Structure 1
Amino acid sequence: MNVPSDPLSRAEQQALSAPFLIEDQEVVRTIARLADERGTPMAEIVRLAIQDCFDRHGRGRAAPEWLQKYWREHPLPLPNGLKADKRFYDSLNDELYDEQ
């Protein structure tokens, strides 16, 4: 079955338009040593490492449904471009400034 794949993100498009180059020699040597030990191509070692990092940090998983519902019902306000008055907020905590 020919199922269309998800559209590429801007970062993915940019990454695929040029070869991936690792300029740090220590990193390359570490990848090469691991590839030799495992008998695996270096690109596969990098892919597995990135997938492992992605899985551990869970950024690929969606938030629980109850949290998504809360975010939909209580959206954050849009930024208004105004700067916070640091002196005012600090004065709420009895922090004083030396006037210069």
Structure 2
Amino acid sequence: MNAPPSPLSRAERQALSAPFLIEDEEVVRAIARLADERGTAMHEIVARAVEDYARRHSLATPAPDWLQRYWREHPLPLPTGLEADKRFYDSLNDEE
């Protein structure tokens, strides 16, 4: 008997609601260069990078149970990527 699929996280729901778009030209160029050098599709380069990051991150010591429970109960809002957010935080540090 197959188990039901796990529910999607907030970030997964947001990501699946619109196409994934990398707006940073330098990042896109770096992915394209790697894809050309390796003879691999760009989406494969991104998938391998994500897998590598997840593997390296999973080696870290997990947070204590109480902290994981707190994070689940009080999730941070997803970043908006808006320019206004950066200007606000820069202003807190007297940066321009």
- What corresponds to 1:10 in structure 2? 10
Q: Say which structure is richer in helix.
A: 2
Q: Mean alpha-carbon deviation: is it higher for 1-10 or for 46-55?
A: 1-10
Q: After superposition, what is the alpha-carbon deviation per residue over 1:51-82, rounded to whole angstroms, capped at 9, x for unaligned?
A: 111111217x884xxx65xx5xxx98xxxxxx
Structure 1 unpaired stretches of 5+: 77-100
- State the TM-score, normalizing by the size of structure 1: 0.54
- What corresponds to 1:93 in structure 2? none
Structure 2 unpaired stretches of 5+: 71-96
CA gap 1:18/1:62 in 2 versus in 1, 3 angstroms: farther
The aligned length equals 69
Matched, 1:52 2:58: no
Q: Aligned-pair RMSD on alpha carbons?
A: 3.1
Q: Which segments of structure 1 move beyond 2 Å, counting only runs of 4 or more?
A: 1-5
- What secondary structure is seen at the aligned counterpart in 2 of 1:40? coil
One-letter amino acid of the structure 1 residue matched with residue 55 of structure 2: D
- State the TM-score, normalizing by the size of structure 2: 0.56
- Alpha-carbon distance in structure 2 between the residues aligned to 1:39 and 1:5: 34
Percent sequence identity over aligned pairs = 64
One-letter amino acid of the structure 1 residue matched with residue 19 of structure 2: P
Deviation at 1:5, TM superposition (A): 2.2
